[in-house]
Structure 1
């Protein structure tokens, strides 16, 4: 998969090259650069380059095999996509994303990184690049004079980098006592103090990268934390921030002898980890079009929620993209189980938080922390635009126990990973918003992952069936 060829310098971007030149002048100590592309599975992949190689990336781009667009979460080819052998595994060209050339201090004082977006060789954006998929949806809002304002919240666990004796996960031990946490201690300050060295380095890394990471809380399980990224009137950059933040959290954690895992459900008996997306919409005057004295928000906000409800089942393959994702959805777990909405209510899928009228927005609480940030925002915003365009009524808001309301109504999600992918693949609305080829290819990748996942015979198979079957 060599990319040592030298194309003609026809695609150089003066502004981008100026960004590089300024960075190199200000950072003479940086010798190595990770160039990263985030494909459908949400895993950043790329190369580490030396300083003298980076000018070519900015002037001409960097060739990457087209198959990287459609590898599964383990990095294996998905041959059924037609982008491996039939395509000759032909190159596409990666070009730097403006504003993402930043230091990566957890990797050493001499390492930086830059994100790439993938293009065809004729210069057209590749329609399977998750950034391009998200931009496609944002463009629909721009055409209508609206700007999505988004913020991302990610929950995750800090676990011991070493596996337990039985091969399972163990929570990271206390730096003071060496004991592992056992109590929930939601919003506990001693738990944040335990994590202070990790958090201090994480905040410093995100500050160095321009990622607007805000406060931390101890979440609803031992060893689980949540940090919020500041809202932005630039949904594409908000997704870039989320991808960069996840990479930083994982890298910084390793320097502290632990791992940050964004698995949706790493422990069967503890809370899952969600990816909550906060969304509002600015009008042409940069005013919040969701603002209202009514706690339920403006008519536009309610229409957006109506669209989120209508397209939730179609979108679950993106919000719950992996086999493990589906373990998270349990009643009375703070993970939603139905297309419900309400005001100041954490038992529903779509929550309008309390706050001043000018801050009205919706918190979309369905996705797991394992979901691809670009595709999650694309699906959330596509549903909102669909609801706004079609003036969709979300129905009455749920008051009180959203789990009980869901049980009474009989509403729910797609029943499992397989059903979710099938429904996603058949969604004409998502084909329109996200692109027909993208929907087809995403479904092919997930079906390949499903087959590979269920090819593995696990210890649980032996425990349950070896003697009992």
Structure 2
């Protein structure tokens, strides 16, 4: 409540939780009822966290007709109130997560799934340190064809890719200045921004932190912020995996290390290659990669990004300082030894994606997993085992994966498979234009 007392101009608040697709589902509430929200929470049907991408009920879901569509209990996360700087009226946002009425965590909530992974690490005396790198597009979608928006400074439109171009960043300086101000207000640790390898594409890194739930919250909130704030400048901010067929898509690369109870990095053995535990974690990630691809590429458009020679991995392998690899070990000082997982697209639910990576790494650490040798050179030419090549294949692999069953509760797996199979069925009826219209703002 301290934030609301410090901001008496705030008259309305939003309460929101992430569904399985990462879409914010919630309510608008007058600020005078904030005390009740903090002490009693609010209620949504359990089925609300299991909607398809259109916000429709999943057909034949046991959460709807079979059970009478009962309510779950939504309680505030540790985050508390924060501003929503992209709205015209001063507004507060209260992030929530879902429980059963008796207070037990609801297994179908993606944030609860990540909390289960955090508990596994804590039980092992370990602490993951996590950072995400988010690529996104600024897009003029006002006409019949997607284009780079005109610069708010010059009014000019540049259509080429401008990798690491200061000119491209400066062209949108007003947007980025507003974005960094908003990140400060929302306590999102936004670090470096660069222009990327496709027209209107940028990347912003969020700082490493030893709280994986906050890292995922930051990522989820950052995506919400980009999409909301961009509209204030007259264009879309999109995490769609591949809006332009002729250019690279957007990824959400994840970096992580793991600390022991004394705060030492278990991936560091003082050498340039890293410790046995680093290779164990890599082995666990590689073993889980076929089954977890659906979480890294959750939508039909996701598979347009995962193609050879497009700066997105297709093969299941790892390497040192090699951006063609699905798992890259960046060059660093030994104490900063870490793993970069490069499969996920920008369109992921960060709670599920981070849970999949860290859960797989812990599987490998616990099992002292077999890890193949790192490769050298171009991953696309190495004859590596391949990620599932289609959405349908990825759904089947996710459902059958023993690694996934170690990481996620059965209820979430069942809900996610039903959701994705329903989306797969209905997406077949959409044109390319309708697909872009659906995904551009939603994911």
Q: TM-score range by the shorter chain?
A: over 0.9
Q: What is the correspondence of 1:404-419 to structure 2 with a 5 Å cutoff?
A: 404-405=381-382, 408-409=383-384, 411-419=385-393
Gap change, CA 1:459 and 1:368, over 3 Å in 2: closer
Q: CA deviation at 1:108?
A: 3.3
Counterpart Cα distance in 1 of 2:433 and 2:266: 53
Deviations 1:187-210 (A, max 9, x none): 000001011111111111110011
1:105 pairs with 85, 90, 93, which one?
85
Matches within 5 A, 1:253-292: 253-292=230-269
2:397 counterpart of 1:423: yes
1:35 matches 2:15: yes
Kept after mapping to 1: 8 A contact 2:135/2:202: yes
Structure 1 residues 9-58: Cα deviation after superposition (integer angstroms, max 9, x where no partner): xxxxxxxxxxx2x1222111111111111010111111111111221111
Mapped partners of 1:91, 1:325: distance in 2:
32
Pick aligned residue for 2:409 from 435, 438, 444:
435
Greater CA drift, 292-301 or 57-66: 292-301
TM-score with structure 1 length normalisation? 0.90
Alignment partner, residue 198 of structure 2? 221
C-alpha deviations, 1:398-456, integer Å up to 9, x for none?
21212212xx34x1011210011011111223122211111111101100111111133
Count of aligned pairs between the two proteins? 435
Alignment root-mean-square deviation, CA: 1.5
For 2:148 and 2:60, the matched residues in 1 are separated by 39
> Secondary structure, in 3 states, of the residue corresponding to 2:319?
strand
Q: Which residue of 2 aligns with 1:96?
A: 76
Deviations, residues 246-299 of structure 1 (Å, cap 9, x unaligned): 111111111111111000001100110001010110100112111233323211
Structure number with greater Rg is 1
Structure 1 counterpart of 2:31: 51
2:67 is matched with 87
Describe the SS at the equivalent of 1:72: coil
| Partner SS state of residue 81, structure 1 | coil
SS at match of 1:105: coil
Question: Larger relative contact order (C-alpha < 8 A, sep ≥ 6)?
Answer: 2
Report how far residue 109 of structure 1 moved: 5.3
Please list every run of at least 4 consecutive aligned residues from structure 1 whose deviation after the TM superposition is greater than 4 angstroms.
457-461
What residue is the counterpart of 2:210 in the other structure? 233
Question: What is the match of residue 313 of structure 2?
Answer: 336
Residue 125 of structure 1 aligns with which residue?
A: 105
Report the Cα offset of residue 369 of structure 1: 0.4
How far 1:168 sits from its partner (Å)? 2.9
Partner of 1:361: 338
**Partners of 2:57 and 2:330 in 1: CA distance:** 42
Contact 1:141 1:148 in 2 (8 A): yes
Moved more, 98-107 or 336-345: 98-107
Whether the 8 Å CA contact 1:192–1:218 is kept in 2: the answer is: yes
Gaps of 5+ in 2: 436-443
Distance 2:180 2:433 in 1: 39
